[in-house]
């Protein structure tokens, strides 16, 4: 039997008025006008209204008891979570700038919003007077000499038709510093290779830099951090599999690594970067940072070796010319049939032509790099890109910068006075702002009469019951901005003091001061790439800023209903992930991203390298081409493995997480998993439904165009991973997609009297490299026709509303 809260009072307005009117003849028989216009009846209605309100408040007591119980358990509403992103500072003129530290708390602002969200830098940034101005890829490891390889010199047979040429077999200018502009690169990333599979691989990426060469400027002989952001790391990828393991610290590369190099201007040589290299990109396989020391001799390339120098044709080539001329003049005629004079004339003519060729000079073929671009770079860095896999699309670069800093959608407040201590136990004060960021409140109290005496620092604790009566501690309700002080042990039992110190009563002073705290957050702080463009805090030599990744992790503050649900879950799951519901709940609580759904598939691993996938994307009848890589889960049981399919809280028919989203969920689950559990976090796969044809009989007053919109909305809601299904909480994973369900949903649509016919086509994402397509019909008969589709455990549905066709009959 379910537990139901008691109904303490069931009196309602109508019932109270009815009962009072029924008693009028007994107590006042002379009162015969019982209409609503009678003043006495109006008074009875007023009394009934007040009675109903009293009953309503009485019935709220169980709810109040529940709230008080939550407070007793220490459950507080969670504050809004602040969105975070990374910002690249754009320099006005790096060649004249002197490096300096930009203090934490510098503010930037998005270009849209009411009001536009404000972001602050999380840490002090050492502004480096250097900026990328060119990007060049080469086939061989030398930019100044394109034919020089590790084993010798290449001898080409075909040379560029035009010089300069910024797109040759040996060199390609992937970004000339102008199109797109540096501030637009995050939104319009540049490909680092050609998309053609026949193009020659150019694995060496040269970054041309403009910088201040003065030693004291803060670039040469300085340890810097180069931030690289690749576009594919922030794009949805159905083939992605992130295995949750405890991350290793950024590795120290040994000296002499050959994948980070620079051009030494003093010796006109390309050299490997010396010293310690801290690599956060796993050898450029993903976005991250590379930390190293800029060499003293980094500089520009002044000597550009030609592809071919000017050379005189030698005797051997002249002899070959003589032979070719003889063969041409003879034209296949036998020498025996020629007279002596004719033969002598042919020989003399061939010798003359051979001498003329011997006197000519082959013209030089210059280095193909445009001379107009050569002087732009004051120095060059070289990175060796990892090889591309078969069928893998070219990587795109969003940014490469020395001046990247993390920012948070928050505002800093300093020196705010909360009030004055009054000496009473259990004092409580409120900050001027709610949703305080964790660990940012710095609180102090003036405990001496002398105003020149330094303030005494107090520290935050999770629970005042855990500290002694003489400890300067306080509790903070971050959502409400409430600061709670202790009771000094005044309610202690058995002589044990608890509860923290009481803020003292100091005559004419005793100010409680929030020296510093940060507040903010909310869903409004999530903005796309390139949305943050202005730096409000003045910064020397900085012309602007741009966020090269989307701001994510924003979340509004928790409601009471959400807190009640969380309390039940936390009491059952605590801090470990064992059951499927544990994994689901913990994944949904990921702080850095918004997870809308989490589907747990036990004993299964992603297909990964066990499947055979085509080298190129496969065209489909529904939607864009399927990805080239293998997707889905392996059907072979894997003991100890758990795959978590996560769906982001995003719009669109197929919400798909980006790799950084998957890694954020992995970090959350890794902190709660058992040691023996192998966890994989993957995106959902989708069975696409398209080209739906519906023929219905409409109710009177509904046109075909009106029904088109109504059925489109109905099916779009029903066939959605977040809003679909019978309960409206999302179409279930791993269920059957039956045509009868689609017919029933159309039949429930407003304006539909009867469904005459329904058919639809579908395309399923690959599992094991085999695309699956077909047609949903009521009575399957032809090949490829079915009346249901059994979804895989990691598979959901999506609906292409643009291909819906609705027909009506009279």
pLDDT, tens digit (0-9, with 9 covering 90-100), for 536-563 = 999 999 999 999 999 999 999 998 888 8
424 and 507 in one domain?
yes
CA distances to 214, 228, 686 from 736, in Å: 69, 44, 13
pLDDT, tens digit (0-9, with 9 covering 90-100), for 20-34 = 888 888 888 888 888
756 and 721 in one domain?
yes
pLDDT of 386 reads 92
pLDDT of 210 reads 97
Residue 738 has pLDDT above 80, yes or no: yes
Residue 86 has pLDDT above 90, yes or no: yes
Res. 333 pLDDT band, cuts 50 70 90: low
Res. 614 pLDDT band, cuts 50 70 90: very low
pLDDT of 613 reads 45
Residue 609 has pLDDT above 50, yes or no: no
CA distances to 119, 305, 479 from 105, in Å: 9, 49, 22
CB distance 691 to 760 below 8 Å: yes
**Residue bearing the bigger pLDDT, 333 or 654:** 654
Res. 623 pLDDT band, cuts 50 70 90: confident
- From 639, 666, 682, the end of a domain falls on 682
Give which of 286, 197, 185 is closest to 237, Cα–Cα. Answer: 286
717 and 639 in one domain?
no
**Least confident among 206-220, 268-282, 369-383, 385-399:** 385-399
The pTM for the full model equals 0.80
Identify whether 561 is part of a domain.
no
- Helix axis angle, 580-588 relative to 659-670, nearest 10°? 120
Residue 771 has pLDDT above 70, yes or no: no
- From 620, 655, 682, the end of a domain falls on 682
pLDDT of 687 reads 93
pLDDT of 32 reads 85
Q: Give the strand order in the sheet containing 242-244.
A: 242-244, 678-682, 641-648, 595-602
pLDDT of 2 reads 44
Distance from C-alpha of 718 to C-alpha of 727, rounded to nearest angstrom: 9
Q: How far is CA 765 from the centre of its chain?
A: 23
H or E stretch including 285?
none
289 and 202 in one domain?
yes
Distance from C-alpha of 290 to C-alpha of 277, rounded to nearest angstrom: 7
Res. 396 pLDDT band, cuts 50 70 90: very high
Query: According to the 3-state scheme, what is the secondary structure of 209-256?
Result: EEECCCHHHCCCCCEEEEEEEEHHHHCCCCCCCEEECCCCCCEEECCC
Q: How far is CA 526 from the centre of its chain?
A: 10
Identify whether 792 is part of a domain.
yes
> Which residues 6+ apart lie within 8 Å of 308 measured at CB?
159, 362, 364, 365
**What is the token pair recorded at 256?**
């002499």
pLDDT, tens digit (0-9, with 9 covering 90-100), for 443-501 = 999 999 998 899 999 999 988 888 888 899 999 999 999 999 998 877 554 444 458 99
Res. 257 pLDDT band, cuts 50 70 90: low
pLDDT of 483 reads 96
Mean pLDDT of 186-202: 89
Cα dihedral sign, 553-555-560-565 = negative
Range of the domain at 344: 311-362
587 and 464 in one domain?
no
pLDDT, tens digit (0-9, with 9 covering 90-100), for 501-521 = 999 999 888 999 999 999 999
Identify whether 3 is part of a domain.
no
Res. 66 pLDDT band, cuts 50 70 90: confident
627 and 693 in one domain?
no
**Least confident among 517-526, 630-639, 654-663:** 630-639
- From 489, 519, 549, the end of a domain falls on 519
Identify whether 107 is part of a domain.
no
CB distance 128 to 90 below 8 Å: no
Identify whether 227 is part of a domain.
no
**What is the token pair recorded at 700?**
């009177």
Res. 158 pLDDT band, cuts 50 70 90: confident
Q: What share of the chain in percent tops pLDDT 70? A: 87
725 and 672 in one domain?
no
186 and 49 in one domain?
no
511 and 417 in one domain?
yes
pLDDT of 156 reads 87
Identify whether 136 is part of a domain.
yes
Mean pLDDT of 556-579: 82
- Indicate the average pLDDT of the chain: 87
Identify whether 534 is part of a domain.
no
pLDDT of 324 reads 57
585 and 703 in one domain?
no
Res. 392 pLDDT band, cuts 50 70 90: confident
Identify whether 198 is part of a domain.
yes
318 and 296 in one domain?
no
Residue 3 has pLDDT above 70, yes or no: no
Q: Residue 508, class by beta-carbon neighbours within 10 Å (0-12 exposed, 13-18 middle, 19+ buried)?
A: exposed
642 and 757 in one domain?
no
Q: How many domains does the chain have?
A: 6
**What is the token pair recorded at 353?**
């032509």
Residue 442 has pLDDT above 90, yes or no: yes
């Amino acid at each position: 039997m379910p537990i139901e809260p008691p109904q303490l009072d069931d009196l309602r307005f109508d019932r109270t008025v009815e009962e009072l009117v029924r008693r009028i003849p007994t107590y006042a028989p002379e009162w015969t006008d019982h209409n609503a216009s009678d003043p006495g009846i109006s008074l009875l209605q007023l009394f009934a209204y007040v009675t109903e309100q009293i009953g309503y408040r009485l019935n709220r007591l169980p709810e109040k008891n529940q709230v008080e119980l939550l407070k007793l358990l220490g459950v507080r509403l969670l504050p809004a979570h602040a969105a975070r992103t990374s910002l690249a500072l754009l320099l006005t003129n790096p060649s004249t700038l002197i490096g300096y530290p930009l203090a934490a708390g510098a503010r930037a602002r998005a270009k849209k919003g009411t009001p536009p969200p404000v972001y602050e830098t999380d840490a002090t940034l050492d502004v480096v007077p250097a900026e990328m101005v060119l990007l060049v890829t080469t086939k061989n490891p030398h930019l100044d000499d394109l034919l020089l390889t590790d084993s010798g010199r290449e001898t080409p047979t075909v040379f560029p038709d035009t010089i300069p040429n910024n797109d040759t077999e040996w060199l390609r200018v992937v970004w000339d510093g102008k199109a797109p502009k540096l501030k637009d690169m995050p939104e319009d990333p540049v490909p680092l290779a050609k998309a053609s599979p026949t193009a020659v691989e150019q694995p060496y990426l040269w970054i041309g830099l403009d910088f201040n060469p003065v030693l004291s400027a803060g670039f040469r002989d300085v340890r810097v951090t180069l931030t690289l952001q690749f576009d594919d790391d922030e794009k949805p990828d159905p083939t992605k599999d992130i295995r949750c393991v405890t991350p290793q610290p950024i590795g120290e590369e040994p000296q002499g690594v050959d994948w980070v190099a620079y051009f030494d201007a003093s010796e006109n040589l390309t050299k490997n970067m010396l010293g310690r290299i801290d690599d956060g990109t796993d050898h450029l396989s993903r976005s991250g940072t590379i930390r190293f020391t800029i060499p003293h001799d980094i500089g520009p390339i002044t000597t550009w070796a030609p592809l071919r120098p000017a050379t005189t044709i030698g005797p051997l080539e002249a002899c070959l010319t003589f032979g070719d001329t003889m063969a041409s003049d003879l034209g296949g005629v036998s020498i025996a049939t020629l007279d002596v004079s004719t033969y002598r004339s042919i020989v003399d003519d061939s010798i003359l032509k051979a001498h003329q060729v011997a006197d000519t000079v082959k013209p030089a073929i210059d280095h193909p790099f445009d001379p107009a671009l050569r002087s732009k770079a004051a120095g060059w860095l070289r990175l060796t890109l990892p090889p591309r896999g078969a069928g893998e699309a070219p990587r795109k670069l969003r940014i490469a910068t020395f001046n990247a800093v993390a920012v948070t959608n928050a505002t800093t407040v300093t020196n705010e006075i909360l009030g004055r201590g009054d000496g009473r136990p259990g004092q409580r004060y409120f900050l001027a702002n709610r949703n305080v960021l964790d660990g940012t409140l710095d609180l102090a109290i003036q405990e001496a009469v002398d105003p020149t005496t330094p303030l005494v620092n107090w520290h935050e604790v999770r629970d005042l019951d855990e500290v002694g009566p003489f400890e300067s501690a306080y509790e903070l309700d971050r959502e409400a901005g409430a600061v709670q002080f202790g009771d000094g042990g005044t309610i202690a039992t058995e002589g044990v003091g608890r509860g923290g110190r009481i803020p003292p009563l100091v005559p004419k002073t005793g100010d409680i001061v929030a020296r510093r705290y940060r507040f903010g957050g909310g869903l409004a702080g999530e903005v796309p790439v390139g949305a943050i463009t202005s730096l409000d805090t003045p910064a020397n030599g900085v012309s602007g800023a741009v966020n090269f990744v989307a701001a994510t992790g924003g979340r509004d503050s928790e409601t009471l209903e959400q807190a009640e649900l969380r309390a039940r879950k936390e009491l059952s799951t605590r801090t470990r992930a064992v059951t499927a519901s544990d994994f689901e709940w913990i994944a949904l609580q990921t702080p850095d991203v918004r997870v809308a759904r989490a589907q747990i598939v036990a004993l299964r691993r992603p297909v990964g390298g066990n499947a055979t996938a085509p080298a190129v994307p496969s065209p489909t009848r529904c939607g864009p081409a399927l990805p080239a890589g293998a997707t889905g889960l392996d059907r072979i049981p894997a003991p100890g493995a758990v795959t978590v399919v996560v769906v982001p809280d995003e719009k669109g028919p197929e919400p798909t997480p980006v790799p950084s989203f998957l890694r954020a969920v992995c970090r959350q689950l890794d902190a709660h998993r058992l040691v023996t559990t192998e966890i994989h976090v993957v995106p959902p796969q989708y069975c696409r439904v398209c080209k739906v044809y519906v023929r219905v009989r409409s109710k009177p007053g509904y046109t075909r165009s009106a029904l088109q919109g109504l059925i489109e909305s109905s099916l779009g809601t029903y066939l959605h991973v977040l809003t679909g299904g019978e309960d409206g909480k999302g179409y279930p994973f791993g269920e059957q997609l039956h045509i009868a369900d689609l017919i029933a949903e159309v039949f429930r649509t407003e304006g539909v009297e009867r469904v005459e016919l329904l058919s639809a086509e579908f395309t399923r994402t690959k599992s094991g490299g085999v695309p699956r397509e077909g047609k949903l019909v009521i009575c399957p008969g032809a090949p490829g026709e079915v009346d249901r589709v059994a979804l895989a455990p990691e598979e959901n549905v999506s609906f292409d509303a643009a291909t819906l066709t609705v027909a009506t009959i009279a």
